[in-house]
Structure 1
Amino acid sequence: MNSLWSFIVAILVLVTIHEWGHYWVAKKCGVDIEKFSIGFGKPLFTWKNKEGTEFCLAMIPLGGYVKMRGEYAITTAEEQAAQPKGSFAACNVWQRMAIVVAGPLVNLLFAFLIFTVFSYGTQHVIAPVAQAPVTQTLAAPLGIQTGDVITEINQKPVVSWNDVNVAVSRSVFNQTAIDLTWRGVDGVVHQGTLNTAGISIEDPAWLDAIGLYPEETQPRLGRVMPHSVAEAAGLQDGDEVTHIDGVAIYGATALREAITQNPNKYIALTVNRNGKSLNIDVKPAAVETKVKANGTEEVKTIGRIGVAISGFNSIQIHQGMLTALEKGVKATWDSTVMTFQGMFKMLTGQLSLKNIGGPVSIAQMAGESSTAGWVTFVGFLAMLSVSLGALNLLPIPMLDGGHLVYYVIEVFTGKPVSEKILAVGQRVGLTFLLCLMGIAFYNDALKLFG
């Protein structure tokens, strides 16, 4: 149920701002709007403003549309001249270009604002202090020791471990080498290179294969979820776990394993709370989840108590508005580029089509992110907004990008594209979208019943 409501909220927010982009620019260009609909199918709620525009919330929350006055398709200058004032087709080509591109751009602007807000101010982040890589990982031969500080990655300075994660994931995605610079605990600066060839971003264990992780410290509980097993047991935010069943532990991994490997079994936790040692028994709830091992996917029962776990060194950083704006622009640009690259890799067979997800996949991700807290959920909205904006900018008929291509052609030829080209484009675009939807729904069905 949480996934369903999270999905509805995500779609309502992103579709609304997308269609509002079209609506706002169209109004600025003098176009009369007949209908602004969020969702398709039977209307659940409608109202009209003083200008006669009908606003509608429909039953199927899988998109939306803005219905403007007049015909969209015009093939001659005479037809354009005959269009009534206030119609979309009566606009000049630059106005029509602005109207169709406004939706995707607003999605990207929305993501930019979120990335900027998240970057501004004082934050507690994981320090770029490394844990010694385990043997047989890509990073093991470099000789990185626990406590060494990563200072540069791919010739760019590192401030927090998030910088390491972003750079490493991008290198693996692009199959490029990872250049590392780190300062040892003895103060000596070292350099090394990791060759990512052969490591696939689609492999759930790709990060384990590389072996770069931040240094672990005593595990500390983050946010305890309301109505969770942890809350019922009496655990609180900030509790530091020192022992499990009387055995001293160190590192978040040990605590996570103890929880996941003991579904429906009591474990005794010793926690340090404000300098006092407390013994708390907790019984992890049994949860079924899909795991991938040796190339095969299977359902496994694991334990969950509903709490975030932190076990890393943290530092406090402060970023002013100019730095935040710069990071917002960079994050939006990088996310957009990676989205287009991902689409290209799937079309060329470099990535599996299984990465295309439909409503079920989005709902699952929305539910997981909302469970992790509102910050994670808003971050998920930003990434999904980038995907929505990028998808609509693809030069495919029936998408905003396809209409934009028509208008670019019109700019160079001095006349609208022919009716024949429009008809062919409609068929091509419809075929592409139906295939895309078919793959997405098939992948969703496999997740539900496969």
Structure 2
Amino acid sequence: MIQSPGFLLTILAFVLVIGPLVFIHEMGHYLAGRWFGVKAEAFSIGFGREIAGWTDRRGTRWKLGWLPLGGYVKFDGDMNPASQPDAAWLSLPAAERQRTFQAKPVWQRAIIVAAGPAVNLTAAVLILAGFAFFYGVNATPAVVGRIEPNSAAMRAGLRAGDRITALGGRTITTFADMATYTALRPDEQIRVDYARGGKPASTSLKIGVTTERDRFGNTFRKGVLGIRSARPEYRRIPLWQAPGYGLAMTGDVLRGTLDGLGQIITGRRSVDELGGPLKIAKISGEQFSLGWPALVWLIAMISINLGFINLLPVPMLDGGHLFFYAIEAVRRRPVTPQVAEWAYRGGLAALLALMLFVTLNDLGSFGLWKNLAGLIG
């Protein structure tokens, strides 16, 4: 039976997920800017027309926009998307110009820009550290307990008691490592390194494929080896060790994100799996209906991806700014305003095209195009 969280719960969950993540991202920029003496003109959650706001004693306008799909901090003198000095900036009084973003050395500007993604990644580390402390971690060793009949593992000659040490050249420590690696690689041929009776050995196999369906009607195509563990082991993590586990889990998620992106680029994974705000809202509602722990876990996953995406060297994103600052640091002077302007125009066009594509993907995953085709037919 397919369960639906409902429209209102979905909207609420989406706000609870996106709102705090956008806030802490922009707060990272804001606090780093204040640290270096840059005045902020505006701090906005959401885009478009202001629906509520106030001005603090420093002159910063804190506001909510009607379109809750992001946010921004506008620093003094930040008069164009590329944050390039212009005639209006040059005309400012010297004392006022010193408080502007463009007046700061390149290393300070880089820190201010990088602070947003850094805070997102730090938030994820802390959330995952909390899960490690309160719920423990799956410490089941990557030892074969049972082989499923007619599975990839059986065809490769693996046996109960074998300890898997590497898959596709990637070191495997726990059963969870093995499951995560194989889930992302259905139908792929890989090398398996293992130890049998203390002696190293290796074989190759083609990862099996299974399709699963959750309680919300979502289907997932994932890879499986056909291996079961002998005895699951969960271990509580001391508080002082939890941040390290949170950092390691964040690294694993980032590596999985890079793996998935590489598979899409090389055609091994369908671009239909790319999703946008509508899909995030749908998943948020589903996870919220499962309880607060599931929603908080989702917040950590999206926070990691938000930090990662913003670090990509694409103009209009934080990573694009950092790319230009790196060029400026090497050349000892910024790129010309004309080059920056055209780069940011291209980046904006690419982001808008991607947003349109993922929105169409989202609508397709909801069955809109099939329904329209049925009506037309």
Which TM-score band (shorter chain)?
A: 0.7 to 0.9
Describe the SS at the equivalent of 1:89: coil
Task: Tell me the equivalent position of 1:212.
Answer: 227
Residue 65 (str. 1) matches residue 75 (str. 2): no
- Cα offset, 1:407, TM superposition: 0.8
Of 97, 102, 111, the residue aligned with 2:110 is: 97
Contact kept, 8 Å, 1:14 with 1:107, in 2: the verdict is yes
After the TM superposition, which residues 164-203 of structure 1 pair with which residues of structure 2 at under 5 Å, given as runs?
164-169=178-183, 176-181=190-195, 193=203, 195-196=205-206
Q: Which position in structure 2 is the counterpart of 1:285?
A: none
Is the CA contact (8 Å cut-off) linking 1:173 and 1:200 kept in structure 2? no
CA distance in 2, matches of 1:329, 1:30: 31
Which of 384-393 and 114-123 deviates more? 114-123
Distance of 1:429 and 1:167 partners within structure 2: 33
Counterpart-to-counterpart distance in 1, 2:262 and 2:136: 35
> Which residue is equivalent to 1:236?
none
Return the alpha-carbon distance in structure 2 between the equivalents of residues 407 and 383 of structure 1. Answer: 28
CA contact (8 A) 2:140 2:232 kept: yes
Q: Distance in 2 between matches of 1:153 and 1:366?
A: 36
Per-residue CA shift, 1:198-230, capped at 9, x if unaligned? 8699993434x5223456xxxxxxxxxxxxxxx
How far, CA to CA, are the matches of 1:153 and 1:373 in structure 2? 35
Q: Name which one, 1 or 2, has greater alpha-carbon Rg.
A: 1
Instruction: Report matched runs for 1:40-439 at 5 Å.
Output: 40-71=47-78, 72-74=83-85, 79=90, 84-120=97-133, 123=136, 125=138, 127=140, 132-141=146-155, 151-154=163-166, 156-158=172-174, 161-169=175-183, 176-181=190-195, 193=203, 195-196=205-206, 204-207=220-223, 209-214=224-229, 315-439=233-357
The alignment partner of 2:41 has SS state of strand
Letter in 1 for 2:84: A
Q: Distance in 2 between matches of 1:189 and 1:337?
A: 30
Q: 1:91 to 1:172 in 2, by over 3 A?
A: farther
1:35 aligns with 2:42: yes
- Give, in angstroms, the shift of residue 404 of structure 1: 0.7
* Equivalent-residue separation in structure 1 for 2:338 and 2:86 (angstroms): 9
Distance 1:192 1:121 in 2: 38
Q: Check 1:2–1:189 CA distance in 2 against 1; reply closer, same or farther (3 A cut).
A: farther
CA deviation after TM superposition for structure 1 residue 24, in Å:
0.6
More strand by percentage: 1
CA distance in structure 2 between the aligned counterparts of 1:103 and 1:114, rounded to whole angstroms: 17
Give the C-alpha shift of residue 401 in structure 1: 0.6
1:326: Cα distance to partner?
2.6
Structure 1 192/172 Cα, relative in aligned 2: closer, same or farther at 3 Å?
farther
- Given the superposition, is the C-alpha separation of residues 176 and 79 from structure 1 closer, same or farther in structure 2, using an over 3 Å criterion? farther
The residue matched to 1:90 in structure 2 has which SS?
Answer: coil
Structure 2 distance, partners of 1:344, 1:333, is 16
* Equivalent-residue separation in structure 2 for 1:423 and 1:410 (angstroms): 15
Structure 1 pair 362/178, CA: closer, same or farther in 2 (3 Å)?
A: farther
- Judge conservation of contact 1:80–1:90 (CA < 8 Å) in 2: no
**Do the aligned residues in 1 keep the contact of 2:151 with 2:208 (CA within 8 Å)?**
no
- Tell me which amino acid in the other structure corresponds to 2:76: R
Change (3 A) 1:178 1:2: farther
Shift of 1:378: 1.3
Residues 150-204 of structure 1: CA deviation (Å, up to 9, x unaligned): 754425433xx43442343466698643434578xxxx99966452468699993
- Measured in 2, the distance between the counterparts of 1:16 and 1:150 equals 48
- Counterpart secondary structure, 2:252: helix
Q: What is the one-letter code of the residue matched to 1:63?
A: G
CA contact (8 A) 1:171 1:178 kept: no
Tell me the equivalent position of 2:215.
Answer: none
- Identity over aligned pairs, percent: 32
Residue 363 of structure 1: SS of its match in structure 2? helix
Q: Distance in 1 between matches of 2:329 and 2:137?
A: 50
Given that 1:151 and 1:157 are in contact with CA atoms closer than 8 Å, whether structure 2 keeps it comes out as no
* Contact 2:187 2:206 (8 Å CA) reproduced: no
User: Contact conserved, 1:138 with 1:210, CA < 8 A, in 2?
Assistant: yes
Between 1:83-92 and 1:19-28, the stretch displaced more is 83-92
Change (3 A) 1:130 1:423: same
AA paired with 1:384?
I
Equivalent residue number for residue 288 of structure 1: none
TM-score by length of structure 2 reads 0.79
Per-residue deviation at 1:66? 0.5
* C-alpha displacement of 1:372: 2.3
Provide the rounded CA distance (Å) in 1 between the counterparts of 2:266 and 2:172.
30
What SS class does the counterpart of residue 102 from structure 2 fall into? helix
Task: Output the amino acid matched with 2:115.
Answer: A
More helix by share: 2
Contact 1:80 1:89 in 2 (8 A): no
Q: Tell me if structure 1 keeps the 8 A contact 2:195–2:201.
A: yes
Deviation at 1:360, TM superposition (A): 1.5
Name which of 3, 20, 38 aligns with 2:10: 3
Identify the range of structure 1 (50-59 vs 91-100) with the bigger mean alpha-carbon deviation. 50-59
Deviation, 1:61, is 1.1
In the alignment, the residues of structure 2 paired with residue 136 and residue 395 of structure 1 have an alpha-carbon distance, to the nearest angstrom, of 45
The number of residues matched between the two structures is: 343
CA 1:179 to 1:172, structure 2 compared with 1: closer, same or farther past 3 Å? farther
